[in-house]
């Protein structure tokens, strides 16, 4: 006997456009690169309709963006990247493409050590996180983490910037600038990757922002010296993602909330932090706090009208909130599928509509888009 009830819980609750207040929403178009859609990238309008789409040759490693020239910058999952540890296939990228609206590939760059985030810089360079095995003696000094990974190789982050010729023009190695005792791995995470830089951005004065996933915290690194000039500690954020440098000098971050100290209920928040004082100057969380939570991935984007576009990644839920915390737009990604490779499925099983990050764009940023 077969059931007629949809067994995908998120889809059963409703997908597509859920809510929209045109008077308060910033409007525009949202770019979505679903993790399990086989390389399809969708640009949807504010009514939730697909306005444009691309088909890339590999599934996303992480996110896609619209570049200033109107092309698509795509962070693809490198088909030849070796399995460094259990969850590697889930979150590595390493196969980058720049693609025109018509689908023509005009630039490609590969680095199979890449994982998580990347930033396409205004000068045309690409900034991204990679990793290599840590020196064994250094790895032994890192406190914390779960015992299940004891004896396995521990990888450390290498942040690289490459130019259009694929040449490395800047490189930063975590173990050369961070003291391991000051950045312990949280008890809920394994010891196979430290400190796991899952988000990057660059401030107006040139500091490279790095989100440290397994240790919690955000640092700002001076490119000339490699020294940490800014540190937002675990007392402020909890295993966060996606630090964004705002025009007012503050930092917007997606605070996931894994293993948040002193809390018996897990929940996510969006925080705006003054890096000069470490003070949270604005935040959003759901009235029912556990109604907004993603254990992994997640991002937030400040919009021109002061609203904030939020990506609740694991559930494929995208929404927009006003400065007062009112939800004025909500959309659930309707594309569901399992991860294509067994290693990723073992880490996150089931049919997914997840996405690493999504971004909102105005009509003016898409001059090639047909009405």
250-262 pLDDT, tens digit each:
999 999 999 998 8
Q: How far apart, in whole angstroms, are the C-alpha atoms of residue 357 and residue 65? A: 9
At residue 148 the predicted structure's pLDDT band, cuts being 50, 70 and 90, is low
What is the pTM for the complete model shown?
0.96
Q: Is the pLDDT of residue 186 over 90?
A: yes
Residues 6+ apart with CB under 8 A from 159: 127, 128, 129, 130, 170, 171, 172, 197, 200, 208, 210, 221
The three state secondary structure string of 162-228 is ECCCCCEEEEEEHHHHCCHHHCCECCCCCCCEECCEEEEEECCCCCEEEEECCCCCEEEECCCCCCE
Q: Is the pLDDT of residue 147 over 80?
A: no
Q: Where are the domains of the chain?
A: 15-365
Q: Is the pLDDT of residue 131 over 70?
A: yes
Q: How far apart, in whole angstroms, are the C-alpha atoms of residue 271 and residue 325? A: 12
- Over residues 79-112, the pLDDT tens digits come to 999 999 989 998 899 999 999 999 999 999 999 9
For domain 15-365, the CATH superfamily is TolB, C-terminal domain (2.120.10.30)
The 8 Å CB, 24+ separation contacts for 278-286 are 278/232, 278/233, 278/236, 280/236, 281/250, 282/323, 284/308, 284/310, 284/321, 284/325
Specify the pLDDT at position 115. Answer: 97
Specify the range with the lowest mean pLDDT, choosing from 38-42, 81-85, 151-155, 185-189: 151-155
Sheet holding 299-302, edge to edge: 16-20, 327-332, 317-321, 308-312, 299-302
Task: Compute the average pLDDT of residues 50-68.
Answer: 97
Residues 6+ apart with CB under 8 A from 153: 84, 85, 133, 134, 192
Task: Compute the average pLDDT of residues 5-26.
Answer: 96
Specify the pLDDT at position 345. Answer: 92
- Over residues 267-312, the pLDDT tens digits come to 999 999 999 999 999 999 999 999 999 999 999 999 999 999 999 9
Cα within 13 Å of Cα(27), Cβ side = 6
Task: Compute the average pLDDT of residues 142-154.
Answer: 81
Percentage of the chain modeled with pLDDT above 90: 92
């Amino acid at each position: 006997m077969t059931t007629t009830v949809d067994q995908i819980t998120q889809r059963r609750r409703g997908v597509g456009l859920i809510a929209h207040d045109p008077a308060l929403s910033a409007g525009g178009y949202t770019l979505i690169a679903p993790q399990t859609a086989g390389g399809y990238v969708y640009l949807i309008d504010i009514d939730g309709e697909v306005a444009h789409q691309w088909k890339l040759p590999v599934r996303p490693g992480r996110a896609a963006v619209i570049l200033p020239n109107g092309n698509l910058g795509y962070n693809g999952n490198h088909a030849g990247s070796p399995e460094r540890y259990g969850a590697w296939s889930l979150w590595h990228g390493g196969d980058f493409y720049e693609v025109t609206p018509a689908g023509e590939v005009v630039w490609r760059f590969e680095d199979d050590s890449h994982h998580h985030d990347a930033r396409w810089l205004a000068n045309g360079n690409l900034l991204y996180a990679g990793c290599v095995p840590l020196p064994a003696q250094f790895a032994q000094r890192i406190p914390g983490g779960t015992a299940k990974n004891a004896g396995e190789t521990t990888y450390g982050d290498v942040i690289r910037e490459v130019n259009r010729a694929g040449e490395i023009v800047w490189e930063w190695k975590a173990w050369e600038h961070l003291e391991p005792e000051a950045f312990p791995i949280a008890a809920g995470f394994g010891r196979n990757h430290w400190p796991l830089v899952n988000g990057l951005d660059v401030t107006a004065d040139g500091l490279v922002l790095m989100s440290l996933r397994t240790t919690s915290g955000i640092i700002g690194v001076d490119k000339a010296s490699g020294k940490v000039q800014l540190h937002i500690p675990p007392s402020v954020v909890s295993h966060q993602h996606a630090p964004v440098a705002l025009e007012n000098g503050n930092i917007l971050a997606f605070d996931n909330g894994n293993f948040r100290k002193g809390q018996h209920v897990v929940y996510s928040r969006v925080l705006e932090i003054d890096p000069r004082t470490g003070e949270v100057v604005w935040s959003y969380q759901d009235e029912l706090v556990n109604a907004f939570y993603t254990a992994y991935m997640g991002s937030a984007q400040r919009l021109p009208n002061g609203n904030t576009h939020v990506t609740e990644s694991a559930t494929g839920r995208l929404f927009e909130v006003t400065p007062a915390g009112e939800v004025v737009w909500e959309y659930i990604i309707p594309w569901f599928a399992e991860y294509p490779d067994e290693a990723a499925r073992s880490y996150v099983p089931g049919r997914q509509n997840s996405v690493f990050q999504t971004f909102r764009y105005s009509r003016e940023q898409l001059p090639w888009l047909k009405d």
